[in-house]
Amino acid sequence: MNFIAEIDIMPQKALLDPQGKAVTSGLNNMGFKEVTNARIGKHITLELSAENEEEAGKKVEEACKKLLANQITESFEYKIIAS
Amino acid sequence: MKFGVITFPGSNCNQDMIYVLREIMNQEVVELWHKDSDLKGVDFVVLPGGFSYGDYLRSGAIARFSPIMESVVSFAKKGGYVMGICNGFQILCEAGLVPGTLLHNNNQKFICKNVFLKTVNNNTLVTNKIPTEKILKIPIAHGEGRYFIGNDGLKSLHDNNQILFNYCSESGTVSDEFNPNGSLENIAGVCNLQKNVFGMMPHPERAADTELGNTDGKLLFESILNNVLA
């Protein structure tokens, strides 16, 4: 079966996210005064084949841990969708 | 002594490193290619600065999977000497050969300037010839040099004297004011627990030739030769 994995990788909450901080002040300067914080991460889409959804999830989890996210500074979440 | 300098796609400090080792330090240097897996009998592996694989995903993240890195990891595990400068340090972090990781500078800028460094541990292969009170002036050139490690890791770095350098003022004051990139505790370089793998963001190879008016970086290369040849 073919699946699509939608992966979100975010800097851990306790860490300074300078990119997010710059965007927050940019938005504030443009008049979006109600924006109090922005955090910026990555969205990765993987297309993969696997026996079933559980297997696909295991592969994606492994890919995130081994390469896609650096667990010292980033957290990840994913959704598996049958395609 | 036989040094191996690795070139990854996107390395751009490899020739500077080769020049210093070969011409200034008079050592044998082998150029290693990222697709090779043979380390060609070198005694010391250097991972130079640059933007390996375009820094895709995270700096150093893809380079870590180069064929040569498998050999470097097993070489290091057997006690072989490895040093990473700038992007080389980022690769060593991603490969898990030195603890911690390097994030975007806290001001979101690429910083290229001379900084001052205080040597924290003068008793390692790469620092033993640096006089105890000497403050080094060595350039940095990076966008992702904010060193970070979790609390347990930081404690272990302190407990085992693994911190090599702190960013400081010209007179040696270590404080936020003299921290160029937001590194945790001003950390500019670390080594592994076994003290055979070294990583640092500043570029000693850019401060090793009298023609360039600054030879503070040469002390690191002299340390290496002093220790190994002694």
How high is the pLDDT of residue B147? 98
Q: What angle do CA B43, B49, B54 make, to 5 degrees?
A: 125
Q: Residue B183: give its domain's CATH number.
A: 3.40.50.880
- With 60 as the cut, is the pLDDT of residue B199 above it? yes
Average pLDDT over residues B81-105: 97
CATH node for A2-82? 3.30.1280.10
Structure ipTM:
0.82
How high is the pLDDT of residue A14? 86
CB distance from B58 to chain A under 8 Å? yes
Average pLDDT over residues B86-97: 97
Q: In chain B, where does DSSP find H-type helix?
A: 14-19, 67-77, 87-94, 151-159, 218-229
CB spacing of A67 vs B57 below 8 angstroms? yes
Average pLDDT over residues B94-115: 96
Whole-model pTM: value is: 0.93
In tens, the pLDDT along B151-193 reads 999 999 999 999 999 999 999 999 999 999 999 999 999 999 9
Q: Which domain holds residue B15?
A: 2-229
Question: Which residues in chain A land under pLDDT 70?
Answer: none
CB spacing of B107 vs A18 below 8 angstroms? yes
CA atoms within 13 A on the CB side of A18: 15
Which residues of A are less than 8 Å from B58 in CB distance? Answer: 70
Spatial separation of the C-alpha atoms in residues B50 and B8, rounded to whole Å = 9
Which residues of A are less than 8 Å from B151 in CB distance? Answer: none
How high is the pLDDT of residue B230? 52
Number of structural domains, chain B?
1
How high is the pLDDT of residue B100? 97
Strand order, beta sheet including A2-11: A42-49, A2-11, A74-82
CB distance from B110 to chain A under 8 Å? no
Spatial separation of the C-alpha atoms in residues A27 and B210, rounded to whole Å = 49
How high is the pLDDT of residue A83? 87
Nearest to A15 among B58, B107, B148 (CB): B148
In tens, the pLDDT along B2-59 reads 999 999 999 999 999 999 999 999 999 999 999 999 999 999 999 999 999 999 999 9
For residues B84 and B90, the answer to whether their CB atoms sit within 8 Å is yes
Q: pLDDT-derived band of residue B227, with 50, 70 and 90 as boundaries?
A: confident
In tens, the pLDDT along B118-132 reads 999 999 999 999 999
